[in-house]
Amino acid sequence: MTENTPDEIAVGIDIGGTGIKGAIVNVTTGELLTDRKKLPTPEGGKPDDIAATVAELVDTLGEIPAHASVGICFPAVVRHGVTMSAANVSKKWIGFEAEKLFEKTLSRDITFVNDADAAGFGEVRYGAAKGKGGLILMTTLGTGIGSAIIYDGVLVPNAELGHLEIDGVDYETKAAYSAKEREDLSWKKWAERLQKYYTTLEKLFSPDLFLVGGGVSKSYEEFLPLLSLDTPIIPAELRNNAGILGAACLSTMRTTFLE
Ligand code: BGC
């Protein structure tokens, strides 16, 4: 481990549909200070079971300084610590006091945020869009489509742009990576859907940059060159660490001067 000042150390946990990952990180440098640990997401994805698995995961990270903040990201809208949606997770999360449950289970303060918000913020802070200003739209192409809006380094939380209605349907059902797999679409056929999706986003937001994350972004050469957009579109860089780093960093940024 390098020398870390106490306020640089934070914990990031990324809860996904199949796995829960976490690490202790340095939020100044974006370095992982421990190995990334992973446990399978419990069957059914219910809140108590997930919280118990997160506690187990945190125990495997070794000693965590008492003052280190903890950020946890999850695939749902999260308003003031309450999960408000459940597109691809157990419906038990709707209207659920998630932040409180994890604080009780881990016996410490935590910050609970949306997974794509964390990943997008992580990419702007440490990854593919490091230090870039302007309007950046992060999209994660996985089971669903996650999105994050970051303007001049400031995150506008809970953009749910994966659920834009296009051609009369919730478009993540057409353009998420899961749709490619489910329908066995070629890269070309899938890219046609992505073309429609990103053109719609372009029209609505006039962004300066699109970032594309999610596991499939490692194969970006197969589909990004097939898109024709006015906005630059680039793959995310932090891969499996984006959510961990973004959640950890967001947890250190809670303002104390607002009510
Ligand atoms: C959810 C989002 C989430 C995204 C990626 C969508 O179905 O509505 O909250 O960020 O999937 O996990």
Give the residue among 110, 150, 156, 109 at the shortest CA–CA distance from 131.
150
215-218, long-range: CB within 8 Å, 24+ apart, which pairs? 215/142, 215/177, 216/141, 216/142, 216/177, 216/180, 217/141
Give residue 2's pLDDT: 55
Given a cut of 90, is residue 91 above it in pLDDT?
Answer: yes
Give residue 35's pLDDT: 97
| Class at the top of the CATH hierarchy for domain 132-236 | alpha beta
Domain ranges across the chain? 6-118+240-256, 132-236
**13 in Cβ contact with 34 (< 8 Å):** no
Query: Which residues does ligand 1 sit against, CB inside 6 Å?
Result: 75-77, 85, 87-88, 114-116, 140, 142, 144, 146, 160, 162, 172
For the chain, the average pLDDT equals 95
Given a cut of 60, is residue 18 above it in pLDDT?
Answer: yes
Given a cut of 90, is residue 178 above it in pLDDT?
Answer: yes
Distance, in Å, from the CA atom of 87 to the CA atom of 191, rounded to the nearest integer, reads 23
Terminal-to-terminal C-alpha distance of the chain: 37
6-118+240-256 folds as: Nucleotidyltransferase; domain 5 (3.30.420)
Q: DSSP letter string over 80-108?
A: TTEE---SSS-GGGTTB-HHHHHHHHHTS
Given a cut of 60, is residue 185 above it in pLDDT?
Answer: yes
Give residue 126's pLDDT: 98
pLDDT tens digit sequence for 152-163: 999 999 999 999
Indicate the top mutation candidate among 143, 171, 211 to test ligand 1's pocket, ranked by most ligand atoms within 8 A of CB: 143
Q: What tokens were used for 43?
A: 């069957």
On the question of a common fold for 6-118+240-256 and 132-236, the answer reads: yes
Distance from the alpha carbon of residue 102 to the mean position of ligand 1, in angstroms: 20
Give strand ranges (E) for 54-176.
69-74, 78-79, 82-83, 111-114, 135-141, 145-151, 154-156, 165-166, 169-170
Distance from the alpha carbon of residue 161 to the mean position of ligand 1, in angstroms: 9
CB proximity list for 175: less than 8 A, separation 6 or greater: 141, 145, 190, 193, 194, 196, 197
CB proximity list for 87: less than 8 A, separation 6 or greater: 75, 76, 144, 162, 163, 172
pLDDT tens digit sequence for 127-140: 999 999 999 999 99
Residue 134, classed as helix, strand or coil, is coil
Q: Which atom of ligand 1 is nearest to the CA of 172?
A: 7
Given a cut of 60, is residue 205 above it in pLDDT?
Answer: yes
Given a cut of 90, is residue 257 above it in pLDDT?
Answer: no
Residue 38, H or E segment: strand 37-40
DSSP code of residue 226: G
Phi, psi values for residue 58, rounded to 5° = -60, -40
